[in-house]
């Protein structure tokens, strides 16, 4: 099992993130707010930019950074900062996630705009959801806990893609 990056490497990731933001500020000729930077991402994504409750955050996966340091410091950091810069300069309008503005910022950072990450992730801890049995008139289905919880709360319903019948919980 891979061990996540430690505090020294996390500090370096924060510094590289800040360097990208400073580069964007020079290009824009103005200051940008700073996103929170965390190392709590798990699963198969190396990085994620999100806005939650009006607060911008860049999340990094410390296990994937440990396994592929060079690839992530060279690609993932600029990738996520580019998402942040597009958000910070566009405001409430929602641009395409990997659209022309994002690609422009990737080039400003000196990185080829790419959205694929196809490296071997063996040894990286992954979340796994429990599945729940459902049925329709033609077959049985397995729904993830997320979808099952939506059905139970009454905020979601699902149809079979083959017979178009409603999925019912088997209990």
27 is catalytic: no
Catalytic residue among 3, 15, 25, 80: 80
H, E, C per residue of 145-170: HHHHHHHHHCCCCCECCCCCCECEEC
Contact 103, 113 (CB under 8 A): yes
Q: Give kind and range of the element (H or E) at residue 131.
A: strand 131-135
Give the integer Cα–Cα distance in Å for 168 and 20: 49
Q: How far apart are CA 147 and CA 155, in angstroms?
A: 9
Q: What is the C-alpha to C-alpha distance for residues 117 and 71, in angstroms, rounded to an integer?
A: 10
Quickly list DSSP for 36-86: EEE----SS-SEEEEEETTEEEEEE-HHHHHHSHHHIIIIIHHHHHHHHHH
Residues annotated catalytic, as ranges: 80
């Amino acid at each position: 099992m891979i061990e996540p990056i430690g505090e020294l490497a996390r500090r370096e990731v924060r510094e590289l993130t800040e360097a990208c933001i400073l580069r964007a500020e020079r290009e824009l000729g103005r200051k940008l707010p700073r996103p929170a930077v965390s190392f709590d991402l798990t699963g198969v994504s190396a990085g994620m930019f999100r806005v939650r409750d009006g607060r911008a955050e860049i999340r990094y996966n410390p296990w994937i950074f440990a396994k592929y340091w060079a690839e992530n410091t060279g690609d993932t950091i600029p990738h996520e900062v580019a998402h942040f810069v597009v958000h910070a300069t566009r405001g409430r309008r929602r641009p395409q996630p990997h659209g022309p503005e994002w690609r422009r910022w990737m080039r400003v950072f000196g990185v080829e705009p790419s959205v694929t990450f196809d490296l071997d992730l063996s040894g990286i801890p992954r979340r796994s959801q429990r599945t729940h049995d459902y049925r329709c008139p033609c077959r049985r289905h397995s729904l993830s806990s997320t979808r099952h919880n939506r059905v139970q709360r009454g905020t979601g319903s699902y149809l079979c893609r083959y017979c178009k019948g409603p999925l019912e919980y088997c209990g």
